[in-house]
Structure 1
Amino acid sequence: MNSRVLINQVCPLPIAILVLLFMVQRFGTDKVVYTFAPILCVWFLFISGIGIFNFIKHDPSVVKAVNPKYIIDYFKRNKKHAWISLGGVILTTTGSEALFADVGHFTVRSKQISMCTVIYRSIILAYTGQASYLRKHNDAALDAFYKSVPGTMYWPMFVVAILASIIASQSLISGAFSVVQQSLSLGCFPRVRVVHTSSKYEGQVYIPEINYLLMLACVFVTIGFRTTLKLSNAYGIAVVFVLTLTSAFLVLVMIMIWKTHIALIILYVVTIGLIELVYLSSVLYKFNQGGYLPVAFAFVLMLVMLIWNYAYRKKYYFELDHKISPDNVKEIMMEKNFYRLPGLAIFYSELVHGIPPIFKHYVANVLCYDFQVYRCVVRYGYTDVRNEQEPFEKLLVEQLKVFVREDYMGMTHALDRTEKVCDDGSLTNGENADNQIVKEEEITNRDIEVLDEAWKCGVAHFVGENEIVARKGSSICKRVIIDYAYNFLKRNLRQSNRVFDIPQERMLKVGMTYELK
């Protein structure tokens, strides 16, 4: 009863720390890291220094533990309990999984240097010192870290340990942003806003939606579990699964990309792969004691990604199969005879090749004579920032003018070459070329004038409000995925107009139904 009261009293503190940690993410990974870097330096200095102190003071003979004979004897004595204890041993490697996810936030070389020169050495010294301390104090096994700290260093170590644990969480949050960004670029994740927080490193991003969802998830898990025992079981399963899956994918890379010799692949699987499978079996033993959490979370996340990617690919291929070619645009012009609406219309689409079918859906109702259509592919790099002082449509018109002039210059150059080739003393070809150049110049000037007039009349932004439904006769599974699951995600997450920062007062949505087979 007393322990339960203590847990209830302590619970608000970690929740407050979690909320504060997630709130500072919007300032960017580099600013957060620069703020926390001195604390990490102090942390590694403390644990390595205390480790050396305990090693010298208590029992330096623990270095004999590098002999593999002792682990064999340990398993002989404890059998099943030795295998179960591996789930706790694996917690010594926690944090290494963040190295894989955080490659986008820091360079590979910086990770190699920091890991080999500081992190690994400090951890080895810390664990060696604790082992020496436990040789003289067997009863302190449940709290060896703090009990092995000398009395005068206890409170400074306590404060630094709390701050270091907060920073360790930062690396996992940054890793989550990187993974979501890569999934988004592959069309495997619903649309979210990606904010690049660094002008030097592309991988340093901040995703508001993911940040707040993670914050809520962490707060609920802290309130629900309350004790560190279940959290450690959940963390252990997550870490071992990451290591095991990484090794499995590495084997695929060795086979398909590196073309590694089969003997080396077998050696890797038998050694590293077998050890990781043994650890995985150990942590799964505590599946019902909190270990189910990362598995359940991964299942839900994988389900969301599968649903989104399936419908996304179906939608993209539908637009690709029904795209409109330039010749089709001319045919559409001849079908109707409505009056022109003055101004410039911008249609947004993810289709890179061809004109999306929603364009035909629009011109079937509003058509014009002297119609000009340009297909523009706009690419934004991670360092490109939307400039409020220079609207996107103004930049687009200027680039279209440059395109029209360059097209004219290319035509002039081609006609000049024709005149030089036909150097037979006759001026007929030269006169025809000059007339053609004058005609092309007139057309170019007229096209530029039309663009200027359209720009002055105003700009309308058209976004396709596509309704995705399964075609009649589709299976129940397909109808559930497309009609319900995908549309639920689409309605409740960020829309296209927010992703592209389209002005709301000049945005029009054109509805169209896609029947996916």
Structure 2
Amino acid sequence: MMMTTILVTIIMLLIWQVNIIVVLCFLTLFLGLELFFFSSVLGSVADGSWVLLVFAAVLYLVMYIWNYGTKLKYETEVKQKLSMDLMMDLGCNLGTVRAPGIGLLYNELVRGVPAIFGHFLTTMPAIHSMIIFVCIKWVPVPVVPQNERFLFRRVCPKNYHMFRCIARYGYKDVRKENPQTFEQLLIESLEKFIRREAQERSLESDENGNTDSEEEVASSSSRVLVGPNGSIYSLGVPLLAECGGVSNPNFGSSTSFDGSLDGTMDGRRSLDNELSFIHMAKECGVVYLLGHGDIRARKESFFVKKLVINYFYAFLRKNCRRGIATLSIPHTRLMQVAMQYMV
């Protein structure tokens, strides 16, 4: 009860942002009652209240083991994630066959390529043409708007067709959407991300083009000579060009305009090709890839660590609710691979 009161107080301060006076009144009232109850339990240990203390100690031990094992598993996954150099060495085909379709690989990493993906590459005869690493995070806000739920970023170069997606949910959000709705929202958010990325690249290229043209104009105007007969010559004009009376120092503006126009057309064509690739991959089907990572203590580890990791934490993970039931993934579109980490 004391732990619950302390946690609620922290939530009131950090998440709900309640007035500090109300928080202090709540903490004083409930914590005072619970301390009074705890002191009465300590005073009657010989009369049988030790059972409550043992029960509280067991609950604390279970929570500590679960937190310790989960933290150790996450740190191991972060250390053993695949490097970008390895992904670049594998090439855009990832050293295997890319089959049409979209693969949603669920993992807990926010950045990088999880090690379980390498296990998929070595175990499966082929991998999907588009891979999206999905990470579900619960954020300290009540509700996350639908248009802000998914955050995307590229994992490798564009021809790899690999993305990182962070699906954010508030503590009042309930995941009731069926897989088809979730897939539709995810694909729409991915298309918005690709369009926004193309617009940003176009703006950057336009800014760079404007800067280059201004520098060219300044440099060409600084290289203008006036002949003895009053004629104006530009050093930027080739020697075999027409010998007119006046040379236009901005002769390269049309060339730069054509280059920027070609760059815009290439960017538009690349955007259309990538969007059509996404549509074709979605029509081929979406498959959910789940990697079950398990941790085991090393042989040289201490006895207590082996006991906690290999038996207690393994028992808790075996009896907790699995991700398939939580995500409501259809079994016909589910592929699972198990991997063991030595900690």
Instruction: Give the TM bin, normalised by the shorter chain.
Output: 0.5 to 0.7
Aligned twin of 1:318: 76
Which residue of structure 2 lines up, in the alignment, with residue 380 of structure 1? Answer: 169
* CA spacing shift, 1:403–1:241, aligned 2, 3 Å: farther
- 1:409 correspondence with 2:199: yes
Per the alignment, do residues 510 and 395 of structure 1 end up closer, same or farther by CA in structure 2, a change over 3 Å counting? same
Residue equivalent to 1:473: 300
Partner of 1:305: 63
CA distance change for structure 1 residues 101 and 326 in 2, over 3 Å: closer, same or farther? closer
Structure with more helix by fraction = 1
Distance 1:334 1:407, change over 3 A: closer
Does residue 1:340 correspond to 2:98, yes or no?
yes
The alignment's TM-score, normalised by the length of structure 2, stands at 0.67
Q: 2:35 aligns with which of 226, 240, 264?
A: 240
Change (3 A) 1:393 1:241: farther
Q: Which runs of 5+ in 1 are unaligned?
A: 1-94, 121-171, 176-235, 244-279
Distance 1:361 1:406, change over 3 A: same
Once residues 501 and 373 of structure 1 are traced to their aligned partners in structure 2, the CA distance between those partners, rounded to angstroms, is 24
Structure 2 equivalent of residue 353 of structure 1 = 111
Per the TM alignment, residue 300 of structure 1 is displaced from its structure 2 partner at its CA by: 0.7
Is residue 486 of structure 1 aligned with residue 275 of structure 2? no
- Once residues 109 and 3 of structure 2 are traced to their aligned partners in structure 1, the CA distance between those partners, rounded to angstroms, is 36
1:405-444 aligned within 5 A: 405-421=195-211, 422-423=213-214, 424=217, 425=250, 426-427=252-253, 428-444=255-271
CA 1:500–1:433 in 2, change beyond 3 Å: closer, same or farther?
same
2:189 counterpart letter in structure 1: Q
1:415 maps to amino acid:
S
* Residues 462-517 of structure 1: CA deviation (Å, up to 9, x unaligned): 1111121112322221111111111100000111233333333322211111111x
Q: Secondary structure at the match of 2:96?
A: coil
Say which structure is richer in strand. 2
Size of the alignment, in residue pairs? 267
Q: 1:464 to 1:471 in 2, by over 3 A?
A: same
Q: Distance in 1 between matches of 2:43 and 2:128?
A: 71
| Aligned residue identity for 2:161 | Q
Q: 2:187 aligns with which of 397, 400, 404?
A: 397
Local SS of the residue matching 2:105: strand
Unaligned runs of 5+ in 2: 130-158, 218-249
Equivalent of 1:292, from 43, 50, 73? 50
Q: Is the alpha carbon distance of 1:99 and 1:323 closer, same or farther for their aligned partners in structure 2, counting shifts above 3 Å?
A: closer
CA RMSD after TM alignment: 3.5
1:98 shift after superposition? 7.5
| CA shift in 2, pair 1:455/1:485, >3 Å | same
Deviations 1:380-408 (A, max 9, x none): 11233435366211111111111111111
Q: Is the 8 A contact 1:338 1:368 kept in 2?
A: no
TM-score (norm 1): 0.46
Q: Match of 2:333?
A: 506
Contact persistence 2:106–2:290 (CA under 8 A): yes
Query: Distance in 2 between the 1:337 and 1:515 partners?
Result: 26
User: How many angstroms apart in 1 are the aligned matches of 2:45 and 2:118?
Assistant: 55
AA aligned opposite 1:484: Y
Deviation (angstroms), 1:102? 5.4
- What is the one-letter code of the residue matched to 2:170? G
Tell me the equivalent position of 1:187: none
Amino acid at match of 2:101: G
Q: Distance in 2 between matches of 1:393 and 1:484?
A: 37
Cα distance change, pair 242–312 in 1 and its aligned pair in 2 (3 A):
farther
Q: Deviations over 1:100-149 (max 9, x none)?
A: 56556999669959x89xxx9xxxxxxxxxxxxxxxxxxxxxxxxxxxxx
